[in-house]
Structure 1
């Protein structure tokens, strides 16, 4: 495979990827749709939740448990546990709140977790389609069901975080702010915007001939990095690695010197070299800035290209959503540009 960057501005090639790019462009609309549906369905339940005694602990269970923890941890007034294994911690009971995101609705493990939480008498907050396997197990007086229809994990997470903030268990997450950030990415990364002014197309070109090492310094940027690496692997069929700075540094330091005479059509003409993809959410944390500076310095010393995606406006969830969507656009364009040699 080799990368043909002309395909990124070719109307016929872009038409072939229309379904995937359209799904990315509709990310903001999905957040708005889910937020509106949830607000109508649980009107009054937020106030009721705020008036009740605080739970002993919040257990975020399931596939997106670590995302919920990354957002809630700093502002949650009670202990918070991310539990991604099947079932629930043994101590979970009637004094606790269990939060489950199951936007697909047919997740057997999530359905089992919800059923176990109900059986133990815990309060339950679940985001899932109202007519689904998970919803069938979410019957109970202490269950709040946030209806979802899009199957989008990010939209479901935003809806759940908004509810928890209203209940006094986290910092405010405004769905409209998140949706606007996603809309902004859809405009800047649109297939109709040419390479010169399109950060996702530029990133795809930078990633085309090497193995991406994806890094984000804050907890949410690191979470976005893992999701972007998954998208890059899926979109290109190539290796992509996300990790902490100490995990990526040995790979950068072991990079072979660039061979300017390597044949790009040779199949190994540089494709085994790394490229550092930095997801920058504008954090002013000294530790994050020091790690980012060190990674860039090591990359420069070993002649490793650095590609950056940035978003430093709005709340932390909006910044996370923007970086994630930019990375997914870059993955889509990378897959589009790769053609058989």
Structure 2
């Protein structure tokens, strides 16, 4: 495989990924759509939630449950747990709140966990499509159902965060802020913008002949890094590592020297790492120190550094922006890779 950068600005080549690019461009619209539907459904339940006794703990499950934890863990007045396994832990009971994110609504394990939470008498907050398998099990006096219909995990997480904030259990994601940030990225990364003015196309070019190492310094940037790495793997078929600085640093330091005479088309070139940094503007000392170590090692070992940044708005908006930029970059990277025979 080799990278043909001309395909990134070729309208005929871009037509082949039009559906994927449209899905990315509509990210902000999906957040607004889910926020509007959830707002209408939950308005009457927010006051009720505020009047209830504060739960002993909150347990979140489903896609992006860890995103909820990363956002709320430092501000939630009670312990907040992201549960990765099927079912519920044994300690969940009538004093607790179970939050189920089920954007597709068809997961039998999620439906079973909701039914079990209802049986144990816990307060339950479910975000899923009305009429879905999960919704059928989300029935009870202490159940709040936030209707969703886009199937978008991020949009679903945003409306749940805003509901929990309204109930006094953390700070809001601010759906309008997140949607506006996603719209901004859709404009900046539009296929109509050429490589010189498009951060996603520029990132794809920087990662074209490499095995990407993806790093984000803050918890939310690190979460975006893991999701972006998944998209890069699908786009390239290459090994892509997203991890902490301590795990990425040895890979950078072990990079083999670049062979300027190798012919990538004939398969002579060794695939070398490139460092993709997701910068959300976090200025904490430990983040700056790790970023400095990674950049210094990359410079010492001739490893290219590619950066995607979004430093304005709320923390969730910055996370969403980095995630969307990375997904655009993965799409353009897949578009530019062609068989060596072509």
Calculate the TM-score normalised by the size of structure 2. 0.98
Alignment of 1:184-203 (within 5 A): 184-203=184-203
In the TM superposition, what whole-angstrom CA distance separates every residue of 1:76-107 from its partner, at most 9, and x where no partner exists? 00011111111111100000001111101111
Alignment of 1:79-98 (within 5 A): 79-98=79-98
1:282 — aligned with what? Answer: 281
- Provide the alpha-carbon RMSD of the alignment: 0.8
SS in 2 for 1:264: coil
1:184, 1:64 → 2: CA distance?
23
Deviation of 1:108 (Å): 1.4
Q: Is the 8 A contact 1:61 1:88 kept in 2?
A: no
Alignment of 1:34-49 (within 5 A): 34-49=34-49
Deviation of 1:240 (Å): 1.0
In structure 1, runs of 5+ residues without a counterpart are none
Calculate the TM-score normalised by the size of structure 1. 0.98
2:237, 2:47 → 1: CA distance?
48
1:89, 1:68 → 2: CA distance?
18
Deviation of 1:268 (Å): 4.8
Alignment of 1:1-341 (within 5 A): 1-271=1-271, 273-341=272-340
2:218, 2:112 → 1: CA distance?
32
Deviation of 1:190 (Å): 0.1
1:264, 1:30 → 2: CA distance?
41
In the TM superposition, what whole-angstrom CA distance separates every residue of 1:139-180 from its partner, at most 9, and x where no partner exists? 111111111100000000000000001111011221000000
SS in 2 for 1:43: helix
In the TM superposition, what whole-angstrom CA distance separates every residue of 1:276-324 from its partner, at most 9, and x where no partner exists? 0000000011000100111110111110000000000000000000000
In the TM superposition, what whole-angstrom CA distance separates every residue of 1:52-84 from its partner, at most 9, and x where no partner exists? 111000001223221110011111000111111
- How many residue pairs get aligned? The number is 340
In structure 2, runs of 5+ residues without a counterpart are none
Deviation above 6 Å: which 4+ runs of structure 1?
Answer: none
